[in-house]
Amino acid sequence: MADELELFQGTLDLLILKTLTWGPRHGYAVARWIGETTHEDLNVEEGALYTALHRLHKRRWVSADWGVSENNRRAKFYSITAAGRAQLRRQSDTWSRYARAVFRVLEAKA
């Protein structure tokens, strides 16, 4: 895509929570999964990613444990909590409604 898509405020938390429903991941793996899943339309900046992960951890929507990455490096692995799953459901409903509303406007005939 010629124009890089920017994440709307609040979207990153939703994307991270969804990513973690597939199992624990370290930060780089979260960013990589989002990029691959969106065919590189969305690329998460490292600074934004780790700020969001810390925020989600502080809100107890994710837990964090140290482990070893696939590259045999020490890394913090994040997992979604029950509270995080509940938040994901709430945010998913809101974003789905929002997206449907935007599409209705974009598809309206003049």
Into how many domains does the chain fold? 1
Residue 24 lies in a domain: yes
pLDDT above 70 for 5: no
User: Are 61 and 80 a contacting pair, CB within 8 Å?
Assistant: yes
Residues linked to residue 74 through DSSP beta bridges, in sequence order = 68
Residue 3 lies in a domain: no
pTM of the full structure: 0.87
User: Are 78 and 25 a contacting pair, CB within 8 Å?
Assistant: yes
Q: Which domain holds residue 20?
A: 11-102
Residue 16 lies in a domain: yes
* Per-residue pLDDT at 6: 66
Q: CATH code at 41?
A: 1.10.10.10
Residue 6 lies in a domain: no
Please enumerate in sequence order all residues whose Cβ is within 8 A of that of 54, keeping only pairs 6 or more positions apart, or say none. Answer: none
What confidence tens digit (pLDDT) does each residue in 29-88 have? Answer: 999 999 999 999 998 999 999 999 999 999 999 999 999 988 899 999 999 999 999 999
Residue 108 lies in a domain: no
Please enumerate in sequence order all residues whose Cβ is within 8 A of that of 26, keeping only pairs 6 or more positions apart, or say none. Answer: 67, 69, 75, 76, 77, 78
Residue 5 lies in a domain: no
* Per-residue pLDDT at 2: 46
Which of the pair, 4 or 71, is modelled with greater confidence?
71
Residue 41 lies in a domain: yes
Q: Which amino acid is at 98?
A: Y
Residue 73 lies in a domain: yes
